[in-house]
């Protein structure tokens, strides 16, 4: 039997082409995966920068609010706007020693549960 050398070379060329295609697709997949990783890392860093900016703005607002909540400034604004507000330490405090639930129920139902003597009620039924 006579072996054809061209057939052998054709098989080598086909195997070489298949190897190159598989290697190329693996390389392309690797490049795509790295691109996805870098895109994700960039979006993460952008998000971290935005979070830091929001936290800075939050801290600035908290400082501004604290500066506006000074008692002397509040008194001044109260006098300028004629609001008539009083500080919390001047508000009277009432201590309740009785049962709160009963007190609230009584307050909500003032007179509703009290029985008043009205007198007998007459009822007439119609008969045939």
Task: Write the pLDDT tens digit of every residue in 74-116.
Answer: 889 989 998 888 777 766 777 888 888 888 888 887 766 555 6
On whether residue 119 sits in a domain, the answer given is no
Q: Are 22 and 28 in contact (CB under 8 A)?
A: no
List the domain range (segments joined by +) for residue 27: 5-108
pLDDT at 107: 80
* Count of positions (residues) in the chain: 128
First to last CA, the chain: 129
Q: Which helix H or strand E contains 102, and what residues bound it?
A: helix 100-108
pLDDT at 128: 60
Alpha carbon distance 28, 66 (integer Å): 57
pLDDT at 26: 96
On whether residue 115 sits in a domain, the answer given is no
On whether residue 45 sits in a domain, the answer given is yes
On whether residue 116 sits in a domain, the answer given is no
Q: State how many domains the chain has.
A: 1
On whether residue 40 sits in a domain, the answer given is yes
pLDDT in tens, 16-72: 999 999 999 999 999 999 999 999 999 999 999 999 999 999 999 999 999 988 888
């Amino acid at each position: 039997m006579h072996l054809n050398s061209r057939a052998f070379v054709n098989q080598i060329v086909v195997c070489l082409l298949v190897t190159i295609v598989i290697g190329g697709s693996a390389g392309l997949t690797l490049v795509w995966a790295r691109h996805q990783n870098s895109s994700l890392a960039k979006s993460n860093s952008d998000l971290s920068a935005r979070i830091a900016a929001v936290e800075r703005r939050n801290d600035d607002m908290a400082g501004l609010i604290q500066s506006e909540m000074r008692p002397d400034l509040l008194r001044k604004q109260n006098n300028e706007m004629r609001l008539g507000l009083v500080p919390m330490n001047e508000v009277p405090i009432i201590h309740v020693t009785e049962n709160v639930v009963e007190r609230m129920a009584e307050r909500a139902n003032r007179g509703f549960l009290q029985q008043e003597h009205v007198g007998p009620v007459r009822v007439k039924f119609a008969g045939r």
